[in-house]
Structure 1
Amino acid sequence: MKVEKMEGIQSTWALYFLIFNFSKEHTLARSGNTIMLKIISDNFQQHATKIPAFCDGMKAFDLKHLLFVDSGLSCDTFNIIYIHRSDVTKEELVEALNYFRLNKLDYCIWVNQESLCSNVESLFKSFNIEEKASEVGMALDLKDYQSISDEKYENIKSVKDSKTLATYANIIAKNWTPADQNILSYYEKTVNYYLDPDNGIQLLIYYHDGQPVSCVELFPSDSKTVGFYGFATLEKYRGMGIGTTLLTFALNMAKDLGFKNAILQGTKDGLNIYMKFGFKDYTTYYEFA
């Protein structure tokens, strides 16, 4: 009987040990996710506001639970409301909405799944705001990424002057039909800020047979984190591996520059490629208008 009792005690303690370790691992994983979600959100916020906050003719407003940006253009690519807290108030949202509506400016609203609670959904419904698109918030721990060599890297050039920046802008603009002239105007207005080396922004262009066909922006929010934005390839040149080559070049650059985290908002079409290189899905960003 004593043996059986001892075995029962050992089994009970073993069960407690397993439960404790599972709970501990789950708590650590949840904590890690919370930290990464903040890193992703901070990079998104800084990317949206950093240049407009210092550029003539542009404005950035930071309320307690949301921020909004006026690019000086009627363009919903750069005029955004970003809700970064689920307890955003009706007064805050009204202030942001009225700003764009009274100034007759196109805009869009971004919110991640953690902030898209019933309170926010109710506010959206009351203003007839509807979901238009979504992207996946992803991150890669660069210590787990092994740099890749590719002879096609010789086709990639960094933007160093205003002429090349205009080429970069033209690639992005051509993702609309007809090409979005507001994109070109935005980069014309912000040229000095993008070319300022103190900002740490890297703009890359891929040339195919001498033609600029793909681009990406590397935007640092601090010494550890860099975000990839404006990742675009002209439709005619998709499916040729150009985007993948540009992505690995950008990842190599980020790692060489000493960054620890690479983040991006990816469309569903690109998820498999991003996950192939180690990116993990942390959240979803929703676009409303």
Structure 2
Amino acid sequence: MTNQQEKDITRRMSENIAGKFSYLASQLPGMKVKHLNGLQYVDCGRQSDTFNTVLGTPASTDDIAQITRYYQQMNRPAAWWFSEPTTAYAQALRQAGWEHEENEVGMHLSLTSQLQTKSDTVLSRIEYCDSLSHFQDFGRVLSAIFEPGNTVEAENIRAIYQQAGEHSASLDDRLIQLVGYFDDQPVSTATLYFHHNIAGVFDIATPECWRRRGFGSEIFYQALWVAQQKKATACVLQASPDGLNIYKKAGFISTGNFEVWNLPQNN
């Protein structure tokens, strides 16, 4: 892959992330999507850095100051995602109160050929989030990965998906969310966000007590199948270093890097 091809995929990946981060915020009451000099920042109205997100590279330290001031005045935590190295702005970010949280690897998979064999069938069923109860179950699974360490984040994630369920009739199929069940217990989740012909994969989650049983793998491969059925030509995702091998086995190729910085809530 040439440098230009990698840059193009990273750009399209960033566009997909922007759409996913802003989708619910643009659909649900009490949430805001704002823009500043090419930056997108989201205020979900709650204390959740899963949903309070900033995406993009600042044009100046003034941009950092303005974004930071907004969240601090609202007393909200936030996560800032960068698709480029933050070397030039790292000091300004730290001085403003941001902390480097993690690095993620961008990955992509072509969907123009047959997918690799999916994992074994271990889930009782997989449901689309198309009702209040399904969104509640999605929120219950996703929030569990933050407990017991961050109960505030977990509570707010559940509240947001409760709200999404209450407005599910107004949501369209740019966002598809799946819940996997084992004996009627929700145990795994996956999200697809479609932008043009690219499907972004997000929220592959299984609570600790249900891991190592294949639930996450099955719903992940189901998400890839759904993306292909929806005529997406490629899937993209962001993986932690610990998850790289899982996605490489599925045929994903590493493409670019992302840095995530966190702004804690004011005490």
Q: Is the alpha carbon distance of 1:233 and 1:271 closer, same or farther for their aligned partners in structure 2, counting shifts above 3 Å?
A: same
Match of 1:96 in 2: 67
Instruction: Answer whether contact 2:16 2:195 (CA < 8 A) is retained.
Output: yes
Q: Which has the higher helix share?
A: 1
Instruction: Select the structure of larger CA radius of gyration.
Output: 1
Q: Does 1:163 align with 2:101?
A: no
Q: Is the alpha carbon distance of 1:194 and 1:286 closer, same or farther for their aligned partners in structure 2, counting shifts above 3 Å?
A: farther
Q: Which one of the candidate residues 90, 104, 122 is aligned to 1:121?
A: 90
Instruction: Answer whether contact 2:134 2:165 (CA < 8 A) is retained.
Output: no
Q: Does 1:130 align with 2:95?
A: no
Match of 1:204 in 2: 178
TM-score (norm 2): 0.88
Match of 2:17 in 1: 44
Within-5 A mapping of 1:56-95:
56-82=29-55, 84-85=56-57, 88-95=59-66
Q: Secondary structure at the match of 2:246?
A: helix
Distance in structure 2 (CA, Å) of the matches to 1:148 and 1:46: 29
Distance in structure 2 (CA, Å) of the matches to 1:174 and 1:193: 23
Instruction: Answer whether contact 1:148 1:252 (CA < 8 A) is retained.
Output: no
Percent identity, aligned pairs only, is: 23
CA deviation profile, 1:117-173 (whole Å, cap 9, x unmatched) = 432223223324321122221111112442535544652222221111101110011
Distance in structure 2 (CA, Å) of the matches to 1:231 and 1:278: 17
Q: Please, which runs of 5 or more residues in structure 2 have no aligned partner?
A: 263-267
Q: Which one of the candidate residues 157, 181, 184 is aligned to 2:155?
A: 181
Q: Which amino acid aligns with 1:182?
A: N
Deviates more, 1:90-99 or 1:200-209: 200-209
Q: Does 1:248 align with 2:212?
A: no
Deviates more, 1:200-209 or 1:92-101: 200-209
Distance in structure 2 (CA, Å) of the matches to 1:117 and 1:187: 32
TM-score (norm 1): 0.82
Q: Does 1:217 align with 2:188?
A: no
Q: Please, which runs of 5 or more residues in structure 1 have no aligned partner?
A: 1-27
Q: Is the alpha carbon distance of 1:145 and 1:165 closer, same or farther for their aligned partners in structure 2, counting shifts above 3 Å?
A: same
Q: Secondary structure at the match of 2:89?
A: helix
Match of 1:263 in 2: 236
Q: Secondary structure at the match of 2:10?
A: helix
Q: Which amino acid aligns with 1:99?
A: Y
Distance in structure 2 (CA, Å) of the matches to 1:65 and 1:261: 25
Which structure has the higher relative contact order (CA within 8 Å, separation 6+)?
A: 2
Distance in structure 1 (CA, Å) of the matches to 2:143 and 2:124: 24
Instruction: Answer whether contact 1:147 1:251 (CA < 8 A) is retained.
Output: no
